[in-house]
Amino acid sequence: MHTLPRSQQTGSELFHRALATASGAAGGTFGLAALPVELPVSTVIMLRSIADIAQNEGKDLSDPESVLSCVEVFALGGRAGSANASESGYFAVRGMLAKTVTEAARFVVERGVIKEGAPILLRFVTQVAARFGLVVTQKVAAQALPVVGALGGGAAVNYAFIEHFQEVARGHFTVRRLERLYGEDKIRTLYDKIAQQLFQVRSTVPSHRRDSE
């Protein structure tokens, strides 16, 4: 995180997409056997892109809680579809992780270093991994298909992979910025109102049309 430049870079998201796409292309060449190497590389690229988005939205990456909130994006982007976005979506996941993030950040500040074996950090990583694993499973399944797992297919899967988490990060840190400006309660109320309106609109669309979207 400390290697990120302080200035905003408008092309950084495209740059990270290009890196992730290249990683996927290389992994696709060797099939699933390359996944143990390709997946960590892709994840690091995504994390750097997420951190860049966070910084551009005003987060201070010298703050341990800001760094942990970047990792939190993997959990926010790993949720399965839900019937009610306001109850089981974004704020529900944030609420689930809130205490762990705060305690983990406090631990890092007090100790001055991140110890991999620290129980609170292991709990945080486990919570994130449980949701991130849903998306990873979909990625693995897609790359396992003969027509997808080839050179071009691996690149396409990784492009979609990083684009998804960039969008989640942009939304997450935009909400966090608005919370700092207007207060968490007001933003939460507006978010729930919009989510309910979208749910009501979506529920009026015939199922065959939703499936085709």
Lowest mean pLDDT across 20-34, 137-151, 167-181:
137-151
Number of Cβ within a 10 Å radius of residue 32: 13
Which pLDDT score, from 0 to 100, does residue 12 have?
A: 85
Measured in residues, the chain has a length of 213
134-173 core/surface letters (b: 16 or more CB in 10 A; e: else) = ebbeebeebbeeeeebbeebbbbbbbbbbbebbebbbebb
**Domain spans in the chain, listed from the N-terminal domain onward:** 12-201
* Mean model confidence pLDDT for the chain: 80
- As a whole number of angstroms, the distance between CA 186 and CA 188 comes to 5
pLDDT in tens, 107-147: 888 876 555 557 888 899 999 998 998 888 877 777 666 55
Average pLDDT over residues 10-28: 79
More reliable by pLDDT, 161 or 211: 161
- Paired tokens of 82: 């839900």
- As a whole number of angstroms, the distance between CA 169 and CA 164 comes to 9
Asked if residue 23 lies in contact with residue 42, where contact means CB atoms within 8 angstroms, the answer is yes
- Which pTM was predicted? 0.80
Range with top average pLDDT, 44-48, 119-123, 138-142, 155-159: 44-48
More reliable by pLDDT, 83 or 203: 203
Asked if residue 23 lies in contact with residue 38, where contact means CB atoms within 8 angstroms, the answer is yes
Of all residues in the chain, the percent with pLDDT exceeding 90 is 38
- Tokens 């939205």 -> residue: 57
Cβ burial of 182 (10 Å; 0-12, 13-18, 19+) is exposed
More reliable by pLDDT, 195 or 174: 174
Which pLDDT score, from 0 to 100, does residue 170 have?
A: 95
What is the pLDDT confidence band of residue 7, given thresholds at 50, 70 and 90?
A: very low
Which pLDDT score, from 0 to 100, does residue 200 have?
A: 85
Q: Evaluate if residue 11 carries a pLDDT over 90.
A: no
- As a whole number of angstroms, the distance between CA 101 and CA 105 comes to 6
Which pLDDT score, from 0 to 100, does residue 27 have?
A: 65
Q: In Å, what is the CA distance from 44 to each residue of 16, 63, 110, 141, 150?
A: 10, 19, 26, 21, 22
Q: Evaluate if residue 56 carries a pLDDT over 70.
A: yes
User: Which secondary-structure segment (H or E) carries 78?
Assistant: none
